[in-house]
Structure 1
Amino acid sequence: MSQQPLAFRMRPSNINEIIGQTHLVGEGKTIHRMVKANRLASMILFGPPGTGKTSMATALAKSLHLPFKTLNAVTDKKKDMEIAVEEAKMHGQLVLILDEVHRLDKAKQDFLLPHLESNRLTLIGCTTSNPYHSINPAIRSRCHLFELYRLTSEDIKEAIGRAIRNKEDGLGDLTIEMTEDALDHFAHSANGDLRAALNGVELAAFSTPTKDGTISINLETAEECMQKKSFSHDKDGDAHYDVLSAFQKSIRGSDVDASLHYLARLIEAGDLDSIGRRLVVIAYEDIGLANPQAGPRAIAAVEAAERIGFPEARIPLSVAVTELALSPKSNSAYKALDAALGDIRSGNSGDVPAHLKDSHYKGAADLGRGLDYKYPHNYENAWVNQQYLPDKIKKRTYYEPKSTGKFEQALNQVLQKIKKQKTT
């Protein structure tokens, strides 16, 4: 049996053996059509770890019987790419499978670009990063972008079954009996990472004593071999920002259960800083005037969490998230400011009215500064009708109150009363 890891040995040799990703390789889908038409274009395959990016790349080259070379953008040097180009000249065409393509430096990129243009090299880049964030536009514009999805538990069970039965590349030469709950644990705790699941199965197969020629893998063995693979979260990866985005959108959407779920993910990742920043933003951006006390209370909860640290930090955080999710929502205040900023940045502002200009200096009156200004506190209810906006935009309205909270409803009553007095 080969000394190479099981996950490597079980890589598909054609697209029909690919696990999952039917949105790309299923009948009639884009990559399936490429293979059927015998026309392979340069592409970037991106998605979470263990979803089969490099496996798909090699399967594509093998399906079309094209020579290919696998390099790593970090560890392999420009010289290795020069060798790949020489091989492409010899074969007429070469598929260059480039792992960690988002780490491609400028020198290597500049070297590759003309060969991609001439189609001498067909690039299949593989990355866990979002190509719109991490890959240079010069490379990205020359490639199709295909996202690979995290594998389902059923996908992983299918792959494990294949590996156990396969005598040539898998574990088929061994007699393995695996309990259903052990299989479930491998499939679920891998969290969509097929490589992790197969590594765990291989470890279980070779670390479990044989009894009467049979290797029996039970739940306890599966748990030991997978260790803690039920959760995967990279604080610097794209998935982290996806979770933060889902966290805020769940609170904004008043789904308290989803909000707590994504909070749990962030807590499990140990990212107290991001949780704290996001909660304060949410309190003012999404709750705002509908519940003005949400902001100070969110800040207090974050400060308490930072002071006590994990694991107890989860307690004030849970209180804050529950309140924010179930609070009435209003974005009226910051939307009003954004509208005002939009006017200023587009040049739609005008001069400050003369009666509002600074008059605390000698000669101000001679310039007409501050004349006819009415001091509101000298009038009933501390209000008097006078113009505050510049003439150019004197009828402009920015603030549009919402009726989702009692506080803002009260503000709206004041606003409507003022508007009515202005017109009388």
Structure 2
Amino acid sequence: MSLIRSPKRQHDDHPAPDGGPAPRSGPAALLGLLTAAGGPRYAAALLVDALGTGLLRPFLLLYGIGVLALDAGTAGLAMSAGMVAGLLVLPLTGRWIDRGARSLPAAATLLVRAAGSVVLLADGTAGFAAAAVLLGVGGQSWPATHAAVVSTLTEGRTRDAALAAGRTLRNAGLGAGALLATLAVAGGTGALRLLAAVTGAACLLAAVLVHSLRVTAPQAPPPPAGAERAEGPALRRIGLLSVANLPYSFAFDVLEVALPALLVLHLHASPAWSSGVFVGNTVLVITLQLAVVVRLADRARHLVLAAGGIALALSYLGFWAAGALGGTAGAAGVAAVSVLFTLGEILYSGSGTALVAASAPPHLLGRALARWELSSGVGRALAPAALTALLAVGPHVLWPVLAVTTLLAAAAVARLRPVRGAAGPRVADPGRRGTCSHAPGPVVRKDTA
């Protein structure tokens, strides 16, 4: 594997200097970034995992009801328990990463999900609950472990683009898997059991591929006297980012919960409108995510994240206005505004994790990523109940509340000025290295944040 070099950053959140090499977009760049951040095996693992997960995730509730004959309340409660278990495990995952582990935690999350898929094949409520917990633990910890692997093998704006490339591939794989599952689900309970088995096999294969990389990072030496005080601003910054992330994270359930309810229940539109909005969002995210991240490489990450919040807030107001039109005109207006919503989502997902990874002191990378993903998970856990409750009162309550809270979060993010010396250990030890078994030598990180 060749040495990965990005423009040497003057600070974790500064734009890339003019004249430096910058990642490019396009299919060739996508492949290059995926192989740069872990090699062909890691890229294959991402694709296999995404395809396998897409086969089962949209139909997990249906599996519990249709195959195991559980009532909807019991199946939903088990799935919620799985999500809570995943959130509780996240801090432990972060500490594991901070001990220098990289590919092993990522492989472990995939292995746990493979076990959950296999347990699904057992009958009974206990088996479904155990499977939901295993799938929840593996699913919640995966984003942090993946970001840690990419952050160890790449740096600077190349890291941002590599994270975006991974999201693009994963979204494409999830979409393809869900499409295949939609076609297969007509086969009845036997087809659903087959989907569970194939998902388990895919996660197991991905776990083997990831573990074979053997990516590690050196454990940081004990911090010198006064280091905790120097790192205080960086830790506070990450804490504030995680709090601001809560209203941002509602955006994903706006697409999956609020908009379908608005279109079908309030505008009495055909469900096809909801499906069209979802498909359009997925296609735009897949095709534009990497290009937007690369295009905005000369912008400070915290300002890009704030711009994403502003775009989301404006789209919420747009949904409110479109819904007031009623009928087909309202549904068409919602579909049009969803393009602005998708842009906000792209800006948010393309800058959030990258900003946290760039802001974190190296020996606290795992805990910083875990804190960010914990806030996302809490937001997503609260979103369905909160959104449906607000919508039950009326769209005139739902959309203004979402717009105001997201705008406040965006304002807080915009005020987070870059903290000088936040990643001081990188300056003191520019030769910090992460190793990868497929590379001819160590992969050197030269971040100077």
Mark yes or no: TM-score above 0.5.
no
* Higher RCO (CA-CA < 8 Å; seq separation 6+): 2
**Greater share of helix:** 2
Q: Given the two structures, how large is their TM-score scaled by the length of structure 1?
A: 0.21
Q: Given the two structures, how large is their TM-score scaled by the length of structure 2?
A: 0.20
